[in-house]
Amino acid sequence: MKRIPALLLLVVLPCSQSFAWGYKGHRIVADIALNHLSSSAKQNLQTLLGNTDLAMISTWADEVRPQRPESYGWHFVDIPKDSAGFSEERDCYRPDEKRPSSQTDHHNCVVDRITLFKQMLADKNASQPDRLEALKFLVHFVGDIHQPMHAVDEARGGNGIHIVEFGSAQCGKYPCNLHSEWDTGLIEHTGRSEQEYVAFLEQMIVSKKLQAGGTPQDWANESLRLAKQVWVNDGGAVDQAYYQANISVVDERLALAGLRLAAMLNDALGRATT
């Protein structure tokens, strides 16, 4: 029964590189972040959000994408798999005839967008609606950049890599692919609820002494390195052995995303007057 939510999500959502971690993963990142906010940041956050909480807005950037087509490329960064790492000039400006906004957007990648939306959120002279929208994008994109498949251009971030997932080649209406496996499949295979996963990760943060650090560029390069490490060729299998070998990567990326999001929010909201 615990596999049903992931399968339903794959039925509802089209196979697209713009989705990362899935509903549960993004909420987990937001929950971890909330646990590590300063008191002043929490107060200013509540002023912006009102009766809404951080987890509730964590998937907004995916939900609004049909109405905000210019945001399509902001969810990921297409770093060549054989490259040494992120290059802003190469990876954040990729004009596409099918997406008119990409013709002029030189910050069309998750790395740049995290920085831009943090700046907007921290700007006490900006309007409250603009700052709230920046918060919604920021919460989501910090999660996105920690999903390894969101930092590699090979096969559209693994969307083009068809796999056999725990014995099945079909995930809902669509063939299973490597990207969606990292979005939802591995997380759901743990059998943990959102609350159980958050509690587990908080214990891991303490035991491993995980700390926030680095820049969005650093986080993208980490994800690229991990994407290479966990890559499966087309037709390969994600089985119990793959799960056992790589679930710790999922856990640490979720935990670090939460800690790093908290650090960004503490910096942007901890001192801002809202």
Domains along the sequence of the chain with CATH = 4-269 (1.10.575.10)
Where residue 20 falls among pLDDT bands split at 50, 70, 90?
confident
Given this model, what pLDDT does residue 233 score? 97
Q: 5 pLDDT exceeds 80? A: no
- E-only strand ranges, the chain: 164-165, 170-171, 174-175, 237-238
Q: Which residues contact 82 (CB under 8 A, 6 or more apart)?
A: none
Where residue 10 falls among pLDDT bands split at 50, 70, 90?
very low
Q: Average pLDDT in the 162-187 region?
A: 96
Question: Is the pTM of the predicted complex or chain greater than 0.85?
Answer: yes
Given this model, what pLDDT does residue 19 score? 63
* Residue pair 204/255 in contact by the 8 Å Cβ criterion: yes
* Residue pair 265/58 in contact by the 8 Å Cβ criterion: no
Half-sphere exposure of 127 (CA within 13 A, CB side): 3
Q: What is the pLDDT of residues 194-241, one digit of tens each?
A: 999 999 999 999 999 999 999 999 999 999 999 999 999 999 999 999
For the chain, the average pLDDT equals 92
Q: Average pLDDT in the 177-184 region?
A: 96
Which residue, among 77, 233, 240, 230, has the nearest Cα to 144 in the 3D structure?
77
* Residue pair 179/156 in contact by the 8 Å Cβ criterion: yes
Separation CA 80–CA 154 (nearest Å) = 7
Structure tokens at 16: 């697209």
Q: What is the pLDDT of residues 121-174, one digit of tens each?
A: 999 999 999 999 999 999 999 999 999 999 999 999 999 999 999 999 999 999
